Structure 1
Amino acid sequence: MTKDKFSLWVLAWPIFIELFLQFLLGAVDTLMVSTISDDAVAVVGFSNQLFNAMTTLFATVAGGAGIVIAQKIGSRQQEEARTVAVISLKATMIIGACLSVLFIAIPTPIARLLQMPEQLIPLATVYISTVGGGMILTAVMSTLSTMIRNTGNTKGPMYIAVGMNVIHILMNYGFIFGAVGFPKWGLAGVAASTVISRLLASLVLLFIFVGAFERKIVVQDIFLRDRKLFKEVMQIGWPLGVNMACWVFSQLAIFAFLAMLGTKELAARTYMNTLESFCFLLGYSIALGAQIQIAHLFGAGRTRDAYKAAYKALKVGLPLVILNATLLLIFGKYVLSLFTQDSEILAIGSSLLWMNLLLQPGKMLNMTLGDALNAVGDTRFTMTISLVSMWLVATGCSYWLGVSVGWGVIAIYGCMIADEYLRGALSFVRWRAQKHLRSRDSQLKREQSPILTVNNASVS
């Protein structure tokens, strides 16, 4: 039963459905917002990069907690897994509440700090204050989804993603077009729809979370404390958080560089973000499923199976990513025309489709082996290579070649490709070394030694 529950396919396919629906939400969101204006699309794309950057503050705890929960369940320490889940949820709720207050209080200065073009400031103020004001819901939703998945239940978050997407799309339609009695609020309505759908999703996830462990979570558990377990979470989580922060802040910097080039480049990149999601969707779900599986196998002491699991995920994921990127290259220009009729934006997007064919295999290699290293607790290594590669290659070279030298968005994309392959190659070398897997084997031998000594003494 446990083995089937933590098999790669059982874990990965609900994650794929959930991620596909998130992709669909983003695509429909962008398509609907594009009926307002290209400026509105740029605001949503820019603001979402900011929100992604802020989520790293609570993702530090949530990511570490998810890995520790899978490891504890693998080693049959259900009560410790439950405690980790409760104390981690409390921590992320506090962080999310602080971020909500910040975005409600100073949305306009935040938009200007990010070098957002002046003509976008009024729209950005409304969107940032509304969606950013709901960051506590984002914190709760992402934390609960992560922890529920790592108990082996990947179907629950999938079903909730279905409901959230349907509600969000229907409300978007109502607010944008003033349909079925909704006020015609434009971008403000899209922001309100986002917050309401996240609230409903958070409530249902909380209901599932209460019964996710062998012993039901009750109200009195709000007072649970365990410094030792929280320290264990943070030992894995803080490098993971820095790693994630490197990515989102480097992407935020790259969006700022694109804003310097012009609103056309910024809008084109926003549309490409939506299309690119299609490319690695299935591969990314396989990588996430493999991370849960490897963490569980690692906790159970099955280190050889854990080692092989990463390569199995790559063997399945790489061909899928290449196939998806090829399909996007063929049909992408037609899809882009659904979002905008601006000839300059379409020309930029079409040229990026070719570069995307190079980008996606490197991204798949990097995220699969990086997630595998994270699953066994080797998060400091992935943090270190992210700090070096993302800031020197992806961000530094993007500014130098794209802005200073003047080669534009093509050069920026080239730097992103180089970053993915560099980190993927370094992660491959590290995984082959099996450092943490060998340490786990040594730990298990030490734990078994006293038992063997006692048994031998009894026989004597």
Structure 2
Amino acid sequence: MKSENTTKVGKITLFALTWPIFIEILLHMLMGNADTLMLSQYDDNAVAAVGVANQIMSIIIVMFGFVATGTTILIAQNLGAKRHKDAEQISVVSIFANLAFGLLLSIALYLFGKQMLLLMNLPEELMSQSLVYLQVVGGFAFFQSLLMTVGAITKSYGFTKDAMYVTIGMNILNVFGNYVFIFGAFGVPVLGVTGVAISTVASRGIGVLVLFILLYKRIRGKLPWSYLLEKFPKEELKQLLKIGIPSAGEHLSYNGSQMVITYFIASMGTVALTTRVYTINLVMFAFLFSIAIGQGTQILIGYLIGDRKYKEAYQRCLNSLWIGIAVSTFLTIVIAFLREPLLMIFTDNSDIIQLGGILIILSILMEPGRAFNLIVINCLRAAGDVKYPVYIGIIVMWGVSVTVSYTAGIVFGLGLIGIWIAQILDEWIRGLLMLKRWKSRKWEQMSFISEKQPLK
């Protein structure tokens, strides 16, 4: 049986790639919202505690993402170039590389979780709950590293539905576990934040197992697991790092700047922290589609670049961008109209509802700018232009987002409103610079496949 039969390359469409990714990301967000909603019935402080811990976890997920991003792009480009053996070898190397990395970070989170939370300026009343959550979920962070890597491989081969089905199952398990541990169902002790952490880890562990089984069936057992025993995968690791490190640099810069901003917000008190968590949980639904279309477009552009179809790749990015802007803006407007009843699902605190409503209205200005970054940056990476987004990201995120957040939010006393104004400026400045870079077409000479022998 030929290797080509294990992939859908050549017959996959953007819609076919994107809608399962959309559902998958939606379910991931719902999992986070389920934790927040169910904890909000238990204690508002617990919501804030988990929110701060998850800010640290987001940094860790970015670290795992540098291998997953490299995996997605390299597999897509190799499949587009009909280099199926290379794609299979990269799959194996990426799984073991991210597993090793995940184990190291899991140990670090368990041992040094308290020090990390202290650096976040966490209020004393939140420390115990936040630390328990971080040590439990962070101690098993390697589950997340495997989920991201195996998911990236599966989606790059065109089987985006598999990741969606696994996420559906994980959500069901997570919500059930939350119900049992938060509300003491079936005579189980009420564990609060600890129970949410246990539920999260258990659902991820089962998800990893199922995803591996699906990958084995889809690739028909063709992945060369013994490849690592034959030689040290120097070339594959070099390629993964060449894409992944700059990509992770941009993400790390963003999440690092967000941690600093969270530090500013923490100085405003628990109400401000909780308002931010609830607002983000709602607004995330608006840019959900941009994330999905960005990931789907990244895979398609990888195929097109591997096949040297640069004109089609150029237009594919622009078409995806306009769709993403339109949908995310429309959804933000809908959320803004329903802001009060939506916020009341989480809390009855009038201060949180009023301030959160203002932030949601401001998000109408933010989301079109965010769409530029979520879609065009993925396109640049897929084409091999991985350094430019990092340079621009570091300059704008720290020079604009952090600086204006402090000035407007702390110095001028605008609080969270000042923080949101800074985020709007950051997204639009970076987004427009990314679009200008794409239109320059400098990425046409940066394909990772082009470093190999010319196609016959």
* TM-score, with structure 2 as normaliser: 0.94
Aligned pairs, number: 449
Partner of 2:319: 312
Query: Structure 2 vs 1, CA of residues 94 and 3 (structure 1 numbering), >3 Å: closer, same or farther?
Result: closer
Q: Is 1:403 aligned to 2:431, yes or no?
A: no
- 1:93 is aligned with what amino acid? L
Query: Do the aligned residues in 1 keep the contact of 2:243 with 2:384 (CA within 8 Å)?
Result: yes
Report the alpha carbon displacement of residue 293 of structure 1 after superposing the two structures with TM.
Answer: 0.5
**Residue of 286, 292, 316 corresponding to 1:279:** 286
2:37, 2:165 → 1: CA distance? Answer: 24
Superposition deviation, residue 2 in structure 1 = 4.2
Give the secondary-structure state (helix, strand or coil) at the position aligned to 1:270.
Answer: helix
Q: Give the conservation status (yes or no) of the 8 Å contact 2:339–2:360.
A: yes
The answer to whether 1:259 aligns with 2:266 is yes
- Taking the aligned partners of 1:441 and 1:216, their CA distance within structure 2 comes to 24
How far does residue 110 in structure 1 lie from its aligned partner after superposition? 2.3
Q: 1:217 aligns with which of 215, 218, 223?
A: 223
How far apart, in 2, do the equivalents of 1:166 and 1:68 lie? 33
Contact 2:409 2:419 in 1 (8 A): yes
Matched, 1:144 2:140: no
Q: What amino acid sits opposite 2:149 in the alignment? A: T
> Partners in 2 of 1:263 and 1:75 — Cα distance?
53
The answer to whether the 8 A contact 1:247-1:390 is kept is yes
For 2:108, the aligned partner's letter is L
Q: Partner residue of 1:372?
A: 379
Aligned residue for 2:140? 134
Identity %: 32
Taking the TM superposition and a 5 Å limit, the aligned residue runs for 1:53-452 are 53-213=59-219, 216-217=222-223, 219-223=225-229, 225-438=232-445, 447=454
Q: Which residues of structure 1 form unaligned runs of 5+?
A: 452-460
Report if the CA contact (8 A) 1:291-1:372 is conserved. Answer: yes
Range that drifts further, 268-277 or 22-31: 22-31
Deviation sequence 1:181-201 (CA, Å, 0-9, x none): 433111110010000000000
Name the structure 1 match of 2:3: none
Amino acid in structure 2 at the alignment position of 1:178: G
**CA shift at 1:219, angstroms?**
4.9
Q: Deviations over 1:397-441 (max 9, x none)?
A: 212221233221111101111111111111111100111225669
Residue 153 of structure 1 and its aligned partner are, at CA, apart by 1.2
The answer to whether structure 1 residue 18 and structure 2 residue 24 are counterparts is: yes
Query: When the two structures are superposed, what TM-score results if normalisation uses the length of structure 1?
Result: 0.93
User: 1-side partners of 2:424 and 2:270: how far apart?
Assistant: 23
Instruction: Return 403-412 or 209-218, whichever deviates more.
Output: 209-218
Q: Which moved more, 1:234-243 or 1:142-151?
A: 142-151
Structure 2 residue matching 1:379: 3-state secondary structure: coil
SS at match of 2:38: helix
Amino acid at match of 1:51: M
Tell me how far 1:109 sits from its aligned partner.
2.4
1:43–1:5 CA distance, 2 compared to 1 (3 A): farther
Structure 2 unaligned spans of 5+: 1-6
Answer yes or no: is the 8 Å Cα contact 1:15–1:155 preserved in 2: yes
In the alignment, the residues of structure 2 paired with residue 346 and residue 213 of structure 1 have an alpha-carbon distance, to the nearest angstrom, of 49
How far apart in 2 are the matches of 1:425 and 1:185?
A: 47
Tell me if the contact between 1:295 and 1:375 (Cα under 8 Å) persists in the aligned partners: yes
CA pair 127-442 structure 1, distance change in 2 beyond 3 A: closer
Tell me which amino acid in the other structure corresponds to 1:338.
I
Would the alpha carbon gap of residues 93 and 183 (structure 1) be closer, same or farther in structure 2, given more than 3 Å must change? same
Matches of 1:195 and 1:215 in 2, distance apart?
Answer: 28
Tell me which residue corresponds to 2:36: 30
Distance in 2 between the 1:432 and 1:134 partners?
A: 42
- Quote how far apart the aligned CAs of 1:365 are: 1.5
SS at match of 1:229: helix
How many Å separate the matches in 2 of 1:230 and 1:442? 15
| Structure 2 CA distance for aligned equivalents of residues 94 and 165 of structure 1 | 26
- What secondary structure is seen at the aligned counterpart in 1 of 2:262? helix
Query: SS where residue 267 of structure 2 aligns?
Result: helix
Please report how far the alpha carbon of residue 205 of structure 1 lies from its aligned counterpart in structure 2 after TM superposition: 1.2
> 1:312: Cα distance to partner?
1.3
Q: Which amino acid aligns with 2:215?
A: F
Alpha-carbon separation, structure 2, partners of 1:416 and 1:71: 33
Measured in 1, the distance between the counterparts of 2:425 and 2:114 equals: 35
Cα distance in 2, alignment partners of residues 112 and 127 from structure 1 = 15
Code of the aligned partner of 1:269: R
State the one-letter code of the partner of 1:53: I
- Pair 441,121 (structure 1): closer, same or farther in 2 beyond 3 Å: closer
Residue 96 of structure 1: how far off its partner (Å) = 1.0
2:49 equivalent to 1:43: yes
The one-character-per-residue Cα deviations of 1:131-165 (angstroms, maximum 9, x if unpaired) are 11111111111111122111111111000000000
SS at match of 1:261: coil
Specify whether residues 441 and 252 from structure 1 end up closer, same or farther in structure 2 by C-alpha distance, changes over 3 A only: closer
- Sort the Cα spacing of 1:439 and 1:173 in 2 relative to 1 into closer, same or farther, 3 A: closer
Distance in 2 (alpha carbons) for counterparts of 1:305 and 1:180:
57
* TM-fit CA distance, 1:59: 1.5
The one-letter code matched in structure 2 to 1:334 is P
Larger radius of gyration: 1
Query: Residues of 1 paired with 2:115 and 2:317: CA distance?
Result: 44
Offset at residue 223 of structure 1 (A): 2.8
Task: Supply the distance in 2 between the matched residues of 1:346 and 1:109 (Cα, whole angstroms).
Answer: 32
Please tell me the residue identity of whatever aligns with 1:172: N
In structure 1, distance between residues paired with 2:286 and 2:164: 20
- Look up the SS of the partner of 2:158 in the other structure: coil
- Alpha-carbon distance, 1:272 to partner: 0.8
CA contact (8 A) 2:27 2:171 kept: yes
